[in-house]
């Protein structure tokens, strides 16, 4: 086994790929030797310097961890991400190297479900359009036409996991009829199950994506599904941008095949198609579904506690692999 070079502090060395929540970073700085990869002007040289001592990688959604990064830090044995989704991590490469991977489920469920409901309301009631209408003085010249009600409508949830269930509870509280699509029926759930995504899209007013990213869901919302959702339907995405065929989405919104969209995630964040920014039937958010102070603090604490457990020889709290 390769002998590790210990930092002068005597504390285990952790490489931060990108910044995480400040309070968690402060704790990491206290308990570990922390190297900040995003601050390095010569990334390759930094990885060479840290290769012997680095034992852990910590990252966030905007900090991919690929096979090359793992190979550059051969003594890393744990990757802790401050996300619930792990599509930014090469899990197969981690498995081959015997690297433990942890994430932060549960603690962000309620915040993401809140934002999904907020997007439904914003799209249906045209909150952003109405806000701009008042700010630009248009209200003194004309009135806005009526919009659609949320209560009494039919919503389809794509991916009825923790977040999907939390959103469904909120939708039901707004007197929305809830149905869902997923790889299998949930035995203890009373909502109507669809085993055909296009059939669900045809029947609902809102299609809400709370599914995880990855190969199994890649571009599952394609042009055909969007056409089935139709000119009176709306797509809401708080899952992953990779789940939607983004060019097809843009085309459907521009030509009226799809009525509206509320998006918190995109295929190539932070870059989004310029056409989306010009559309009034779209609400655009910068991937902030979990971005409440309370939620991000809890996510950061879980990252730290996973690292503490691993370095103490205990089972980690929330393993992926």
Catalytic residue among 29, 31, 269, 275: 269
Give the whole-angstrom CA distance, residue 110 versus residue 108: 6
pLDDT digits (tens, 9 = 90+) for 184-193: 999 999 999 9
Number of other CB atoms surrounding residue 251 within 10 Å = 15
Q: Does a cis peptide bond (omega within 30 degrees of 0) precede residue 270?
A: yes
Residue with tokens 């809890």: 298
Is residue 240 annotated as part of the catalytic site, yes or no?
Answer: yes
Task: Supply the pLDDT for residue 23.
Answer: 97
Q: How far apart are CA 279 and CA 302, in angstroms?
A: 39
The confidence score (pLDDT) of residue 9 equals 63
Tell me what pLDDT residue 10 has: 79
All domains in the chain, ordered by first residue: 13-107+294-311 (3.40.50.720), 109-284 (3.40.50.720)
Residue 269 annotated to the active site: yes
Q: How confident is the model at residue 6 (pLDDT cuts 50, 70, 90)?
A: low
Query: Is pLDDT at 3 greater than 90 in this prediction?
Result: no
Residue 2's pLDDT is: 39
Mean pLDDT of 257-268: 97
- Kindly state the average pLDDT of the residues 47-52: 98
In this predicted model, what pLDDT tens digit does every residue of 273-305 receive, in sequence order? Answer: 999 999 999 999 999 999 999 999 999 999 999
- pLDDT higher than 50, residue 1: no
For the stretch 232-255, pLDDT in tens is 999 999 999 999 999 999 999 999
Quote the DSSP letter at residue 293. Answer: H
Active-site annotation holder among 35, 88, 240, 296: 240
Q: Tens digits of per-residue pLDDT, 95-127?
A: 999 999 999 999 999 999 999 999 999 999 999
What percentage of the chain exceeds 70 in pLDDT? 97
Out of 11, 154, 198, 287, which one is annotated catalytic?
287
* Average pLDDT of the residues in 161-177: 98
How much is the pLDDT for 45? 98
Token output for 51: 């290769």
Please tell me the distance from the alpha carbon of residue 63 to that of residue 269, in angstroms, as a whole number. Answer: 11
pLDDT computed for residue 5 by the predictor: 55
For residues 14-35, give the mean pLDDT.
Answer: 97
Give mean pLDDT, residues 71-89.
96
pLDDT attached to residue 8: 59
């Amino acid at each position: 086994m390769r002998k590790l070079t210990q930092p002068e502090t005597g504390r285990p060395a952790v490489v931060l790929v990108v910044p995480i929540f400040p309070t968690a970073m402060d704790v990491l700085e206290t308990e570990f030797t922390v190297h900040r990869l995003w601050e390095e002007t010569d990334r390759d040289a930094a990885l060479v310097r840290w290769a012997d001592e680095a034992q852990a990688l910590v990252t966030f959604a905007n900090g991919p961890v690929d096979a090359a990064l793992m190979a550059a830090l051969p003594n890393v044995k744990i990757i802790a991400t401050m996300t619930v989704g792990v599509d930014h991590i090469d899990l197969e490469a981690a498995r081959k190297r015997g690297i433990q991977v942890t994430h932060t489920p549960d603690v962000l469920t309620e915040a993401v479900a809140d934002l999904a409901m907020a997007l439904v309301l914003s799209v249906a009631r045209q909150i952003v359009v109405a806000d701009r209408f008042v700010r630009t003085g248009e209200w003194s010249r004309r009135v806005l036409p009526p919009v659609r009600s949320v209560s009494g409508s039919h919503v389809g949830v794509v991916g009825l996991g923790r977040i999907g269930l939390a959103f469904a509870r909120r939708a039901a509280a707004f007197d929305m009829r809830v149905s869902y699509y997923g790889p299998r029926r949930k035995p203890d759930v009373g909502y109507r199950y669809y085993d055909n995504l296009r059939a669900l899209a045809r029947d609902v007013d809102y299609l809400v994506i709370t599914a995880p990213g990855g190969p199994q869901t890649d571009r599952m919302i394609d042009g055909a599904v969007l056409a089935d959702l139709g000119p009176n339907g709306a797509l809401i995405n708080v899952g992953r941008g990779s789940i939607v065929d983004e060019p097809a989405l843009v085309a459907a919104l521009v030509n009226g095949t799809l009525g509206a969209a509320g998006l918190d995630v995109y295929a190539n964040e932070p870059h989004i198609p310029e056409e989306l920014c010009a559309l009034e039937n779209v609400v655009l958010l910068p991937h902030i579904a979990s971005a409440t102070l309370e939620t991000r603090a809890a996510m950061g604490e879980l990252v730290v506690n996973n690292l503490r457990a691993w370095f103490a020889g205990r089972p980690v709290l929330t393993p992926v692999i």
